[in-house]
């Protein structure tokens, strides 16, 4: 079985329509019987916006507070994954795939 690695992030997952396009790309490769590995980073501007807002609050965060901010970014990734699954790319996908 061939393996294909697809990486999406930034503007490629920046809107619902673009996420649907990503789902189509993933579905296409799955239908060709490829083992599909998807790497998704934050939607366009999410990470920068999170950092900018956090720095506006304080420039003296504790290590635990920074971990919580990164956790929020990870939660955004999970939301993107769920959107992809609902868009038809999710046959056989789990959060660990």
- Banded model confidence at residue 84, pLDDT cuts 50, 70, 90: low
* Pairwise CA distance, residues 3 & 11, whole Å: 25
Handedness of CA 29, 31, 34, 35 (dihedral sign): positive
Residue-level pLDDT at 29: 92
- Banded model confidence at residue 79, pLDDT cuts 50, 70, 90: low
Please state whether the predicted TM-score (pTM) of the whole model is above 0.75: no
Residue-level pLDDT at 57: 79
Note the pLDDT tens digit of each residue in 28-60.
999 999 998 888 777 777 777 777 777 787 778
């Amino acid at each position: 079985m061939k393996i294909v690695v697809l990486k999406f992030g930034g503007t490629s997952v920046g809107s619902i329509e673009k996420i649907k396009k990503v789902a189509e790309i993933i579905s296409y490769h799955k239908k060709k019987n490829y083992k599909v590995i998807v790497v998704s980073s934050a939607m366009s501007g999410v990470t920068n916006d999170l950092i900018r807002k956090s720095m506006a609050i304080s420039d003296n965060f504790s290590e635990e507070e920074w971990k919580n901010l990164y956790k929020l970014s990870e939660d955004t990734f999970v939301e993107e994954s769920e959107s992809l699954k609902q868009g038809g790319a999710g046959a056989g996908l789990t959060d660990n795939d």
